[in-house]
Structure 1
């Protein structure tokens, strides 16, 4: 096959000359100058299997209807995803006198659609469903030769082996599954006189599209990463697609990914995300989930970069549950009540923490997959987001739940004491040591879970010792010489960027790779969509589920718009104060129960935020009327505040700055 820029007529003449040299004069295939090796080699294969070019037909009957149904059933996965592509492809070539064909991996035509004026001619050569177009049966043809060559093929006019097929022009591209196995062939066939140069490119693109759909369907329950070195190619047919499980192990790669990463299919099962890219898989997943449509810049191990986006299946990222209905304001209506929370039994569980936010739910889902496995968990997030509660929940759902959960805050203990706290010491090991010695946190956690909070603040010299403990699974107390075997599940947390700390030398790279087996990032409170559910949980904890307390809509709206610089820790403290300020006969938390410093912190914020501000209201008393006595003015003020508070004596007393008993006395009710 010669240069496609040459005219169809010129090309046909040269091909017929080549046929004469090959079939009549016995010229070898490699001597056919005008022919591309694909066609010439195919002619040679046809001769070897005993085909005769001058035969009036291939002499191969189509399969029976029942055989065709069985073959279609075996290829149901291919057909279900190919029919849309076939229809779309046919729309591109409609009215060009052509047919679009899908065959299985053996060359049996499964489906076809085409222009009526060409279908009758195609039927003459059995170019229809049920026909066999393997090269060994039908000679050189686009479908059969694409199967034999395992690559896209174009066969025009006299390039077909059989003379009877010389009126055809055919362009075909093989379709491979995610494992690189041939599934089928996509083909466009038409009259050779209407050959178009772009047809093969159109078929190749359609086959790529179909392969992409098949890949995404096969790995529909896994994490897919779409990437390309050029940003504008992400989302195109040229993008690479990788499939990973939740542990970051590579499960599959499409053909574009293999080409871009210079990999072979035999290498796939030996690789994971960390071997392909110079970034932690958990960090990439968490970052991608914050904005699923954003592109991330991923560094390759040898210095190059690619742009990537992630697709997390719905099964791994549960949709956010709808928030509880808003509670009506004031006691005139019936506000929504808190119910006994999953957290109110004294134990922290993932059910307690999973209150409807999608990002928190995804973090819980990912952590749950690691339960019972010897893989360290690294929890990232701002101070106060509940990293220790998350670690406790992780411990409590695992097989070590009956063993100790031991926590050490590396930032809260003086540097000179961390070593002894972590590793322990023998009696008299240093000045001030207890004579009976001390069992360190690592030994205390033996059989259970060791939680190292703010591990990013651990001194460098202790990082080296901790690394040895994690590697060797033994700990040597200070002043001792005999190592003690330890078995702990390690959970670490930090609000720092450990990647930056590694770059600056503040955190050991080898320890970083040891502690971040799976990384989850907990969202800040201001980013969460489940504020109302969190409020209900906290109140249930504070009241031990024994008291039915509601929160006004005014307060809930304020909570949803407030920036919460201290995150859940700050909210918990605010609600603890509010519950404590409730009188025995009160069951509604409103703005007057909130700590004043909450509003002071809000007003000091530099960030402009649209918000509701449930500040205590002023007492605006009507102007003096003549020479009123102080008692009259006081009584009028009390009556006005009581009216504004809907008769709520406790709320009115707080606004007046007096106790409830004093207010009763002033009203003459005692």
Structure 2
């Protein structure tokens, strides 16, 4: 801790010297500033900015102008919001905020801790304000856009003096055509700098870029590649979009770097020229093995390659696969915005020994294949979408689309067109060819409506009519289209209470509530160690041994209260694996995200030598429950093994655990 303070003090002292040299004596502070910051200060001086400026011309857009910009950046917002939420779960309660800005530095959306947001308002770190470098001086958002690279601007490194209270890390977001279209920023108090923040911003921007690329090229073949097989599916993979006739339509920045070529040398060229292999044989090898990969030789190096997308609809070298045109059209419609279900994720694989989760799985399994809607309840991040996906993959509709829509993440003005679709020209900005809504995309499969409790009342009435009549009418159309869907909904709200206060339709509630299951929060689950092992094994891939966790690391994970639930655990394990050195397989406490240690201080006193909770001072019932939980944990959540070890029946063990 003393070393950290010393480093902070040294940094502050160097910045004070640098500012005095540059602003008071007009001298370059060589060796006192990162070169990138020094160059930015010089640009700001050329812009005519003064370091003591308090107000910025055109401080913030009004509500109508901001709404226009939000609509213009709709795709960027839709793909970025889930990632911003994930990032915020990582930094919650650290006095920070997550910011999305457009390609001009205009802040579009912010998520943050209330105490820091109120202070950020004083320097206009709010939606509608521009943080272009030529207006705000050196800052992470504007400077990252100028440099087209990830940037950290710490405290007094900001050009404007009154922005010195901020520490900001930002990474530009590049569109599928390789041009910057936005920036993701993590800002906080300059006195509470966090390690790894710049890396988190860079990783998050990469994930957004990947989502954008896949969303834009939904109807194309995606050729995913990397020199290491375990990086396939990660933000580090290269992706090329290829048309049905074998032409490369687009390639992401990772792809050009991996191939050692410029984007202009790849786009609008034949696949065989760019990848030195023919596409048709690769399709033959991979189209019947979803998510499998093969190895090819490109530029004298091995390249692991995976194909995703509409492989059966290819027409290459005069050869057309035997699929009718009508079938291809239907497949394209189903593919747009469809969330793919992981082939190995079923209700059986979700069952890792927790009693409450097993009860939910058993109840859901009983209605597989029946026309009964299921309502999944639980805290945010408890795994509701994962459960819905596993439910779909376990039933007879497993080979049909699984389409998800988060009702809370889309503005009220856009959710209607997203859900019901629209006809060409139905509203200003609509695509001339129109667009199918999520309901039509899910035809024959499963429609998952996440956070259904946040759906606007007027749309609840339309959804109810669709469920009753089994027909949907897109916006701007008078033609009703038949749909066949299995409906799964989820919410963290108590819908009965929402009905009572008039925020949710009672008739829709009873229509959705065919079977209700409740997922336990992570902090109450008894299978955390098994869950950690499964996530780490899946995240590590097949090309490396699954990482192991030290006992200290596992105890830290178990002691944490997990406000973000499984979503946060997943992210924490991803961060830990990412921080492993090459060849390292043991995850220790030093690899874990910092927020996991906020409850560490009081954990030793509450745990015995085995790492399980210490024996409580309470009733015999409480002691019995504790012994049952500890035994269950030691046998990896296996109910039968725990019952045998305790010398009691399974039913008695269930009662001890309070599950009957």
TM-score, length-scaled by structure 2: 0.47
Structure with the greater alpha carbon radius of gyration: 1
